[in-house]
């Protein structure tokens, strides 16, 4: 039997249209976008077109789109770049981050505490997707502050109330960053309607190339670069531009936004089908963030009576079902996820499985995955 890939939230294959769009910029149109000559102009023109396409897809101005080298870099630039830019005022700035942020945000924030350059408040999130707004309001009230609240949580698919955060921050005069890596192409992200100041996205979650990403920087937002060198990306991200990557990212975003409605409806149906199958065949199973609004592509469940969540993922892999627990980590060993800790507390002993659906997913895939899960769970409980 063919193995089944249900880990699209971890990464996706580059789609044909993206690869085709990129190809010329790897070979014939290879110039350095900053060069004066025709090679340079051709590359520079492609880069600006890519920027305009990204801006149009997200409801931004081209001048507000900075290309960076991935989601992690984008998050770091947002938090640390903002912190650097406001530090000049003298007051200790505040970073208010939700407890379920990606480690790229959480660890960037923590690093500022370690070097004493910012204060960090971690804002609780309920399993229903509600932020502790009292805490957030309090946190943003004193001195310069940036709230960093992700648009869609990567481990559970939970949609966070970014629009509400923008409103609340507006009252306090604080800035808002949102990591939208899992949101683009899954839920509407329109920067004219939700006026965050900073927004991060990456190519490889939406069938674009790995190592590509962007940071949206709303006109007038304070931000300083973290790297130094040439003046590329308006000085915010020096380094010779990855034109092929930018073209790939732009194509991927354009297609993701164009196909959003249809694909989201299809994935929602598949996710419901998977959820029904799992709930009807496995005792002691819980859907994570069940009461929250959820993005269509993620289904995270917690299964009782299995002391070892990592063994469950390995067993599923051996049965040909590729899924995740939470975030993947360097050595491949797994530990309790900070998201599950934040949502359900430290005494909640369940094995977590995250199924994430994508363009290649079919009804037969989710049926087989549900069957395999039930079989493996039964075997593990008997062991």
Residue 240 binds other proteins (CB under 8 A): no
Residue 89 binds other proteins (CB under 8 A): no
Residue 290 is a catalytic residue: no
Cα separation, 81 vs 109, in Å, equals 11
Residue 314 binds other proteins (CB under 8 A): yes
- Catalytically annotated residue among 329, 341, 349, 363: 329
Helix ranges (H only) for 27-70 are 38-58
Task: In angstroms, give the least distance from the CB of 333 to other proteins.
Answer: 4
Binding mask 270-309 for other proteins (x = CB under 8 A): --------------------------------------x-
Residue 312 binds other proteins (CB under 8 A): yes
With CB under 8 A as the rule, give the number of residues binding other proteins: 17
Cα separation, 269 vs 272, in Å, equals 5
Residue 334 binds other proteins (CB under 8 A): yes
Site of tokens 């996710």: 271
Do strands 145-148 and 94-98 pair parallel, antiparallel, or not at all (unpaired)?
parallel
Tokens at residue 215, please? 């940071």
Rank residues 36 and 333 by Cβ distance to other proteins and give the closer one.
333
DSSP H or E stretch at residue 113: helix 103-114
Tell me which of 1, 36, 88, 383 binds other proteins, using CB under 8 A: 383
Cα separation, 194 vs 83, in Å, equals 22
Tell me which of 128, 167, 283, 317 binds other proteins, using CB under 8 A: 317
Cα separation, 103 vs 327, in Å, equals 9
Residue 378 binds other proteins (CB under 8 A): no
Residue 10 binds other proteins (CB under 8 A): no
Residue 20 binds other proteins (CB under 8 A): no
Tokens at residue 60, please? 């931004």
Cα separation, 234 vs 225, in Å, equals 10
DSSP H or E stretch at residue 300: strand 298-304
Tell me which of 114, 333, 345, 346 binds other proteins, using CB under 8 A: 333
Tell me which of 87, 92, 226, 311 binds other proteins, using CB under 8 A: 311
Q: What is the DSSP letter of 273?
A: H
Residue 332 binds other proteins (CB under 8 A): yes
Tokens at residue 139, please? 């946190």
Are residues 271 and 156 in contact, defined by beta-carbon separation less than 8 angstroms?
no
Task: In angstroms, give the least distance from the CB of 79 to other proteins.
Answer: 24
Rank residues 181 and 315 by Cβ distance to other proteins and give the closer one.
315
Tell me which of 41, 229, 335, 362 binds other proteins, using CB under 8 A: 335
Cα separation, 107 vs 225, in Å, equals 18
Residue 116 binds other proteins (CB under 8 A): no
Q: Which stretch binds other proteins (CB under 8 A): 66-74, 114-122, 248-256, 331-339?
A: 331-339
Q: Which stretch binds other proteins (CB under 8 A): 17-25, 171-179, 315-323, 354-362?
A: 315-323
Residue 331 binds other proteins (CB under 8 A): yes
Are residues 131 and 165 in contact, defined by beta-carbon separation less than 8 angstroms?
yes
Site of tokens 């395999």: 372
How does DSSP assign 319-353, residue by residue? Answer: TTEE-BSSS--TTS-----HHHHHHH-TT--EEEE
Residue 310 binds other proteins (CB under 8 A): yes
Cα separation, 80 vs 277, in Å, equals 44
Q: Which stretch binds other proteins (CB under 8 A): 65-73, 236-244, 293-301, 325-333?
A: 325-333
CA distances from 238 to 34, 119, 230 (A): 11, 28, 5
Task: In angstroms, give the least distance from the CB of 380 to other proteins.
Answer: 5
Residue 23 binds other proteins (CB under 8 A): no
Q: What residues make contact with other proteins under the rule CB under 8 A?
A: 308, 310-312, 314-315, 317-318, 331-335, 376, 379-380, 383
Q: Which residues are catalytic?
A: 329
């Amino acid at each position: 039997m063919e193995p089944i890939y249900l880990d699209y939230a971890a990464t996706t294959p580059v789609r044909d249209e993206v690869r085709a769009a990129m190809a010329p910029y790897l070979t014939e149109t290879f110039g350095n976008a900053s060069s004066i000559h025709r090679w340079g102009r051709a590359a520079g023109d492609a880069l600006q077109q890519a920027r305009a396409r990204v801006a149009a897809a997200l409801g931004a101005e081209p001048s507000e789109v900075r290309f960076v080298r991935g989601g992690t870099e984008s998050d770091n630039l947002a938090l640390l770049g903002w912190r650097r830019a406001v530090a000049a005022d003298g007051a200790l700035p505040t970073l208010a981050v939700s407890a379920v942020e990606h480690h790229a945000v959480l660890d960037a924030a923590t690093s500022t505490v370690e070097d004493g350059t910012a204060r960090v408040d971690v804002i609780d999130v309920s399993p229903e997707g509600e932020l502790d707004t009292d805490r957030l309001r309090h946190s943003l009230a004193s001195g310069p502050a940036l709230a960093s609240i992700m648009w869609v949580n990567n481990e559970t698919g939970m949609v966070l109330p970014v629009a509400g955060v923008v409103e609340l921050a507006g009252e306090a005069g604080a800035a808002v960053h949102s990591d939208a890596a899992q949101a683009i192409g899954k839920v509407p992200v329109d920067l004219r309607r939700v006026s965050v100041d900073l927004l991060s996205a990456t190519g490889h979650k939406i069938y674009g190339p790995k190592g590509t990403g962007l940071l949206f920087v709303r006109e007038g937002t304070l931000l300083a670069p973290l790297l130094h060198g040439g003046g590329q990306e308006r000085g915010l991200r020096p380094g010779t531009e990855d034109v092929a990557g930018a073209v790939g990212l732009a194509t991927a975003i354009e297609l993701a936004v164009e196909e959003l409605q249809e694909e989201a409806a299809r994935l929602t149906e598949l996710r419901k089908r998977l959820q029904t199958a799992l709930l009807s065949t496995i005792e002691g199973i819980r859907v994570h963030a069940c009461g929250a609004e959820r993005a269509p592509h993620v289904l995270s469940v917690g299964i009782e009576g299995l002391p070892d969540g990592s063994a469950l993922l390995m067993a599923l892999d051996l049965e040909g079902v590729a899924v995740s627990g939470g975030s993947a980590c360097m050595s491949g060993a797994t530990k309790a996820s900070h998201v599950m800790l934040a949502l359900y507390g430290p005494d909640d002993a369940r094995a977590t499985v995250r199924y994430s659906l994508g363009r290649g997913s079919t009804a037969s895939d989710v049926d087989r995955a549900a069957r395999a899960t039930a079989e493996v769970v039964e075997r593990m409980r008997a062991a």
